[in-house]
Amino acid sequence: MRVDGACPAAVGQAVVSRAAAKVLNTKVGGSLELRTQQTGAAPPLRVTVTGLYERGDVGGDWWADPAFAPGRIAAGEETVDPVFLPLGAFTGMLAAPTAVYTAQAPRALLEDGFEATAYALKTAGFDYTGPPGTLLAKISGDRAATRRGVLAGWVQALVLCALALGIVGRYTAQDRRPDYALLKLRGATRTRTARLTVWQHLLPMLVALPFGLALGWAAARLAAGAAAPVRAFPPAGIAAAVALAAGLALLVLADLPLLRTPVAELLRRAPAAGRRGAALFDLLLVAGAAAALFQVRTQEPAAVPSGLAVVAPALLALAAAALLARLVTALAGRAGRAALRAGRVPWALAALQYHRRPGIDRIFALVAVAVALLGLAGGDLLAGRDARADRTAVELGAERVLTVRAANQTTLLNAVRQADPGGKDAMAVALDDTASPPVLALDASRLAAVTGGAGALAPGTAAALAPGRTGELPPVEGSGLTVAARNDSPGPLRLVVQLTNAGTGGVVAVTLGPLAPGEHEASAPLRGCAGAPGCRIVGLALAGPTDEDGKPAPPAAASALTVRSLRQDDPGTPVLDAGALGDPRRWRAALTGPGLVVAPFEGALTLRVPPPAEDGTTRSRPDPHAYVVDGSLPIPAVLAGDPPRDWASAEPSASPFGSAAQPLRIVARVPVIPVLGAVGLVLDLDAVHRALPAPATTGTLQVWLAAGVAPGRAAAIADGLAAAGVEVVGSETAAQHRERLAEQGTAYAGRFRLLSAVAGLLLAAVAAAAAVSVERRVRAGEVRAMRVQGVPHRAVTVAGAGGQAGLLVLGTLGGLLAGAFAGWAIDAPVAAFVDDWRLTAPPPALRPGALGLAALAALFVLAVVSALASARGTDK
């Protein structure tokens, strides 16, 4: 905290907050009497205020303890901010203190659910309050979303890595056929050959392992936004060992067929026959994709996926790519034969090469899956970003929100208008989430400029909420008031004029009289309204003679007073003339319960207390007030959610900020209200404060800043608010709110899936480059044979380049189709949050733009890597 003055150093001293000092009407050097409500406690303790404090780091851990909660008015009970004094004050002077120890929950407690800790503390005699079950459930859900998302990214990376290793192993195995033939010719046994096979793959993998671990640590650091903890290293090492073993097994399995191949076959350079079991593998892929799709379609909308649904995009993309690969291979054979018959030799050679080369369909599938997963991961990331932006607009309301403290809403409204006289950068807002329905009151005249028509409120909301004005009464700035009235009662009456200071919201009451029966004038001094902006008259009230304590008694039944004029003594201008007093639109009685009979007629205002009930039943005491109407009644309101049940039998009304019921006129219906959510009311703050008989002091006060406000301008507005008596206790921007939402497990999982997709694209590029490098020497012999047979050099050159480019282009187009199919088949919105947020429609996961960008990026990377691989040699 920041203390203006001195900290308490001895018993009998205390510090209070500035807000509490205003409520308690004290200052530095003043005194307070503190007492406890416990039965049989020590006598009150009188303390001297040594300082006034302001909260620092309001959103920090220390102030989060409920013992230090700020004062508020709730359920009719008013509390003030905590008072701080030395511990010695509790020794024989106040009640025995309750020691409270608050600490952040360590990870170990979060993992065991606090059961053991709660039992140990309660056994030792302590009261224990742990995190609520909803918080623990949210933490558990966040971790589950992280695990599932990372699992999905891990599986897609594993699938792509397995495909890439299988392709690389198959092509490099073809390059090693002469070596195996030589080993067999020299009499090497299968066991020795297999051992050599294992070592020739294991050695480079062991060399690459440290670099892979370092790269994995860097990727994890990038995805998580923090360094990996020490406890993550053992499982990471185990995972690296598993990856090493799996990769070694894949490469060795690719070489095993060569151990059983005869020498004559090994020396043959023609492509081998097609693989057996490929059709069964594709069938299993389709079955797995169908099962994953079924789980996706049967889960709750926008829920965090589980089971096979976690890897549904990868399985669907892989199944679609495998089927497309078979289709493209078959079509390439038909196209090659058709081009050959048409005499188009280059195209025929390119197509037939694609059709006859073993493993080329798997390169197509790998490229297609990499493009599809990259596009889907990019679409998920964009959808999550849009979902966080939509939620921020609902939960925050503006680009920057300042949480403030002020004496009342009038002070806030005037302070904001003084700090931003142009009305383009700041808007006063008051929230009452305890009302039924909850209320969001804002300065509607600035809504369009501050929010720009964005967010949950429609652009026309400001115009709909704008209150109609009856015509403002002149401000009261004099030193006294004089009333001219006729008392039609048998006894004397007093007229109480109620005013509020237009600048500070302070309540001012002036009692005129007593007025004897008949025509009379009465005057009284006026304090608290001198100078601009003066005071605003809010109502008139009748009072009877004073009682024994000197307080005015309620007026007797059937009492009546006709007010003919009310004027200021200095500067001598009228406050209520004949036009204002006789206007029926200007006056109203209480809206609930019995009230005065308010009768404006022929330039005068008659206030009459209703007579007792004729049947002798007890009538409750009527409200003796006549309220001024200088705004629009009923108050225009925008409603979200279903109307309250009591509106079915009565006119719409609400009791905002602890006031009596105020009539409402619903001008629009919206699905969501900023901050409040799906249920609530939006009112104009100026209309509310004009309708209430006294400025509201309850509710949460905020100042919303426009999106284009620079930091320097925001600081100037905050300084202006402070100069007007408004304390800024918190600040949050939309970017900060989005960043906090982006710390949920779903957002981290999305970034990890994108990282895995990028790695998959690089793996596809490496696999394609390895295939090009191996095929280059094989194709060189074929080219020489074709040149001997008279095929032009240009034809074979075009065929080679065209076949390679065709593979990359067809694989990229296949990725677009596979990604679009997977997104269309899943047709489920992205689970952007771990809670049950449903107030905004989840954005679609399938993004054509993301797929297109992924295809362009993939085509560029594949083309560059393939060109570098081909540049090492040219066909002659």
pLDDT tens column, 663-706: 898 988 888 889 988 899 999 998 888 888 778 777 889 999 99
Q: Which residue has the higher pLDDT, 167 or 491?
A: 491
How far is residue 316 from each of residues 368, 734, 794, 808, 821, measured CA to CA in Å?
12, 37, 41, 21, 8
Which pLDDT band holds residue 876 (cuts at 50, 70, 90)? very low
Q: Rounded mean pLDDT of the chain? A: 81
Angle at CA of residue 437, ends 434 and 443, nearest 5°: 85
Q: Are 42 and 36 in contact (CB under 8 A)?
A: yes
* pLDDT score, position 487: 93
Q: How far is CA 672 from the centre of its chain?
A: 14
The pLDDT score that the predictor gives to residue 41 is 60
C-beta contacts of 86-90 below 8 A and 24+ residues apart: 86/8, 86/9, 86/10, 86/11, 86/13, 88/10, 88/11, 89/11, 89/12, 89/45, 89/47
Q: Running DSSP on this structure, what letter comes out for residue 519?
A: E
What are the beta bridge partners of residue 56? none
* Alpha helix positions (H), 621-691: 685-691
Residues 6+ apart with CB under 8 A from 200: none
Q: What is the mean pLDDT of residues 481-504?
A: 90
Token couple for 218: 């860097």
Mean pLDDT within 839-856? 84
Handedness of CA 369, 370, 375, 377 (dihedral sign): positive
Peptide bond into 262 cis (omega under 30): no
Q: How far apart are the first and last CA of the chain?
A: 82
pLDDT at 310 over 70: yes
pLDDT computed for residue 76 by the predictor: 47
In single-letter form, the type of residue at position 42 comes to A
Any idea how long the chain is? 876
> Is the preceding omega at residue 97 within 30 degrees of 0, hence cis?
no
For 67, other C-beta atoms within 10 Å of its C-beta total 9
Supply the pLDDT for residue 605.
93
Higher pLDDT, 93 or 534: 534
- Alpha-carbon dihedral 772, 775, 780, 783, rounded to 10 degrees: -100
User: Is the pLDDT reported for residue 338 higher than 60?
Assistant: yes
176 vs 366, higher pLDDT: 366
The answer on pLDDT for 873 being more than 50 is no
Looking at the predicted structure, is the pLDDT value of residue 821 above 50? yes
* pLDDT tens digits along 560-615: 999 999 998 877 788 899 989 999 888 888 876 678 899 998 899 999 988 876 55
- Among residues 658, 734, 587, 720, the alpha carbon closest in space to that of 441 is found at 658
Average pLDDT over residues 302-310: 67
Query: Average of pLDDT values for 295-309?
Result: 69
The answer on pLDDT for 302 being more than 80 is no
What percent of the chain has pLDDT above 70? 86
* CB contact burial 544-555 (16+ within 10 A = b; e otherwise): beeeeeeebeeb
Check if the beta carbon of residue 865 is closer than 8 Å to that of residue 872: no
User: Which stretches of 572-643 are DSSP H helices?
Assistant: 578-581
Band of residue 875 on the pLDDT scale cut at 50, 70, 90: very low
Q: What's the token pair of residue 296?
A: 């996706």
Give the Å distances, CA to CA, from 519 to 483, 487, 626, 768: 11, 6, 20, 106
What is the pTM (predicted TM-score) of this model? 0.77
Residue range 798-809: average pLDDT?
A: 69
Range 183-187 average pLDDT? 81
Q: Give the separation between CA 778 and CA 603, rounded to whole angstroms.
A: 110
* Confidence (pLDDT) at 618: 44
State both tokens at 370. 């990499």
C-alpha 731/C-alpha 737 separation (Å) is: 11
Q: Which of 424, 158, 450, 442 is nearest to 310 (CA)?
A: 158
Please give the pLDDT value at position 260: 77
pLDDT band at 738; cut points 50, 70, 90: very high
pLDDT confidence band for 138 (50 / 70 / 90): confident
pLDDT range class, residue 510, cuts 50, 70, 90:
very high
Statement: residue 473 has pLDDT above 60: yes
Q: Give the bridge partners for 510, in sequence order.
A: 497
Range with lowest mean pLDDT among 100-104, 112-116, 490-494, 643-647: 112-116
Structure tokens at 182: 């030589």
Alpha helices (H) along 679-792 = 685-691, 711-723, 734-741, 745-788
CA distance 812 to 324: 12
Confidence of residue 231 (pLDDT cuts 50, 70, 90): confident
Q: Which amino acid is at 504?
A: T
Determine the average pLDDT of the residues in 385-413: 89
| Integer angstrom CA distances of residue 408 from 84, 412, 414, 502, 577 | 25, 7, 10, 12, 30
Exposed / middle / buried, residue 417 (Cβ in 10 Å: 0-12, 13-18, 19+): buried
Going by their DSSP bridges, the two strands 45-54 and 13-17 should be labelled as: parallel
CA-nearest of 160, 163, 98, 173 to 129 is 98
